Amino acid sequence: MEERAAGRKTGRMGALRPTLRGLMAAGAVFAAQGAFAEVTTSHGFSNFGELKYPADLAHLDYVNPDAPKGGEISIWALGNFDSFNQYAMEGAPAALNTIGSESILTGTADDPFGMYCFMCTTLEYPEDLSFVTFNLRDDVKFADGTPMTAEDVAFSFNLFATQGISEYRKVVEGFVEKVEVESPYRITFRFNPASPVRDRVGIAGGTTVFSKAWFEKTGTRLDKSSKAPFLSTGAYVLDSFDFNRRVVYKRNPDYWAEALPINKGRNNFDRIRVEYYADNSAAFEGFKAGDYTFRGESDPQIWATGYTFDALKKGWAKQETIADGNVGTRLSWVFNLDRPNWKDPKVRAAIGAMFNFAWSNKTLFYGLYQRPVSYWSNTDLAATGLPDEGETALLKPLVDEGLLDASVLTAEASVPPEYPDATNRPDRTAIRAAAALLDEAGWKTGSDGIRRNEKGEVLALTIIQYNPFYDKVISPFIENLKLIGVQAKLERVDTSQYVERRRKGDFDLANQAFDMSFEPSVGLEQWFASKTADESSRNLMRLRDPAIDRLVTDVVGTKTIEDLKTSVHALDRALRAVGFDIPLWYNADNWVAYYDVYRHPEKLPPLQVGQLDFWWYDADKAAELKAAGAFR
């Protein structure tokens, strides 16, 4: 499992990772930990319900098992890179730097709760999940041809436990009491009885496996930037790169898992090329010129108005809207709660009230976005209306202890203010209400119209950003903040500075994309727990809230899907009531454009577009378009 995601979500157009764990039956009897216990032997694991796929699957439902191999797909990335290690807190990692990474278990794009044996033939576990044993395949090879064994699995798990980023280590420390290498192809993880039960199998089986021998020979560290990818087992390896300009990966012709049923119709391209651009506009021009051939569009203005160029008119390129079945990503500006000015929720609420989503969406985004009112938008995990009996049972003790405001029990789940879309300026009532909140918080307006506290300090706010796309959003927001006496500014920095300042907490407001999963559990601690606030790429707002900590614990401890929903509703309701971010927007669809040399199955799975996974290259069409001068 990628250490940045102890709780897994199948990422939008991203690589699949295992879910946290689950339940499947088929049985054997084993002696475990000194006592006889019934042990299940299975090809996979799912927390809730049965696995979608049987052990003898022929291929995944959503692939073309006869897809041809060959060709190149090229995409773009923003900014620059100087490392191939995304696990370190230093350096800007190259796009797709983990493309060669694999783990013992894998997920699919149509089963949000399932985990399946990939590097193993079977896994074994007792009902109480006090341990899990993986019977590893004996044909797994690293890219250099050396075999992968249980020693590599144990080494990799311990590597993340000792050199992984602190937010990950703080979440998973104490999960595993002992890792036992029983033979070259059999390994057992014995769990701490106090560790969260739902996460145990995923923590063990989802760890990315690296070569122990390669790490020891090269002296590479997980917590330091790296000029080369780690030696892994995946279908793709690094072909070439030019720092800050281009990185190319090629399909490994000796890939060990090529013939596995779960891989049929996948990993179809010979090469995957990534071209780097300084900004989105330059990247779009590159796409129009045919410098790269597949584009995931993120700019609604370009999507609505830009696709009128010759290649599209001539039928060389095409646009496609693909529904996104994932949890809606909540893109926000988050406050740095370590800075005194933003500790008061009244101040945060007043500032957040000055963003007019309706006007921004209509004027800047052609009405194509939705506002993420929840951290679990687009799912039944989102809190709605008044709390039900189950939510109240979780929230009331926190209210009684003074950890949450009583309104969380009596008011509907908090939603951002809504304004007319005719003008960017919020209505007068909203401006007066925001001004009143700042007055109550001790920020008074002087004769110059600027807010100051009793010490004479100005209420000033700096938004850091590296992507010019946001200028058109931030500038109107800053104008609105002037209406209530807040002195705000945009500070543009380069990619490396942006990454570093976010890490160090050198900002007032910064972007964060809250990417939740269908099965939230211990990974929530990386997002919201007090223990990760000091140094976290996810808890960027430095949230330290005992009520949220307790509610996260409630979620982690759930055992049924019904209890999970109830506890997530309560957590979602409380997070929105605390109000540490200004929700911006999310897109319920994936927008893609590509030159007409790629094909995909007619029915795509709900959780992944899959262009790098199960699309394929039409060589005949590519030859035709190249001859016509469609792309380079």
Q: What is the CATH number of the domain that holds 30?
A: 3.40.190.10
Produce one character per residue of 602-616: b if its CB has 16 or more CB atoms within 10 Å, e if not.
eebbebbbbbbbbbb
Question: Residue 384's Cα: distance from chain center in Å?
Answer: 24
- Three-class SS of residue 370? strand
pLDDT tens digits for range 570-601: 999 999 999 999 999 999 999 999 999 999 99
Q: Is residue 295 part of a domain?
A: no
Same domain, 382 and 250: no
Output the pLDDT for position 621: 96
The whole-number pLDDT of residue 36 equals 52
In one-letter notation, the amino acid at residue 393 is A
- The first and second tokens of residue 532, run together, are 């990760």
Instruction: Classify residue 253: in a domain, yes or no.
Output: yes
Give the pTM: 0.88
- 607, 571: one domain: no
Structural domains of the chain, count: 2
- Domain interval for residue 601: 1-277+597-616
Write out the E strands in 301-427: 317-323, 330-335
Owner of token pair 């300026």: 425
Helix axis angle for 546-556 and 561-578, nearest 10°, is: 160
The answer on 601 and 581 residing in a single domain is no
Are residues 342 and 194 both part of a single domain?
no
DSSP bridge partners of 328: 377
Note whether residue 540 is domain-resident.
Answer: yes
Q: Is residue 70 domain-shared with residue 126, that is, in the same domain?
A: yes
pLDDT at 369: 96
Residues 571, 608, single domain; the answer is: no
Asked if the structure places residue 325 within a domain, the reply is no
Whether residue 500 is found in the same domain as residue 467 = yes
DSSP secondary structure letters along 590-614? EEEEEETTEE--SS--TT---TTTT
Q: Residue 384 maps to which CATH number? A: 3.10.105.10
601 and 557 in a single domain? The answer is no
Alpha-carbon distance 394 to 567, whole Å?
Answer: 7
Q: 593: which 2 tokens?
A: 């454009």
Mean per-residue pLDDT of the chain: 92
Co-location of 408 and 455 in the same domain: yes
Same domain for 270 and 385, yes or no, is no
Q: Using one digit for the tens of pLDDT, what is the confidence trace for 479-529? A: 999 999 999 999 999 888 998 899 899 999 999 999 999 999 999 999 999
For 289-301, write each residue's pLDDT tens digit: 999 999 999 999 9
Alpha-carbon torsion 625, 630, 631, 632, what sign? Answer: positive
CA dist., res. 307 & res. 323, Å (int) = 19
Residue 23: the pLDDT is: 26
Distance of alpha carbon 537 from alpha carbon 502, whole angstroms = 8
Model confidence pLDDT, tens digit, residues 49-60: 899 999 999 999
Q: Is 398 a member of any domain? A: yes
Instruction: Give the C-alpha separation, 390 to 566, whole Å.
Output: 6
Contacts of 107 (CB under 8 A, 6+ apart): 8, 10, 16, 17, 18, 19, 114, 115, 116
pLDDT at residue 461 greater than cutoff 50: yes
Same domain, 562 and 601: no
Same domain assignment for residues 552 and 602: no
The pLDDT score that the predictor gives to residue 89 is 84
Residue 526 region by backbone torsions, left for phi larger than 0, else alpha for psi between -120 and 50, else beta: alpha
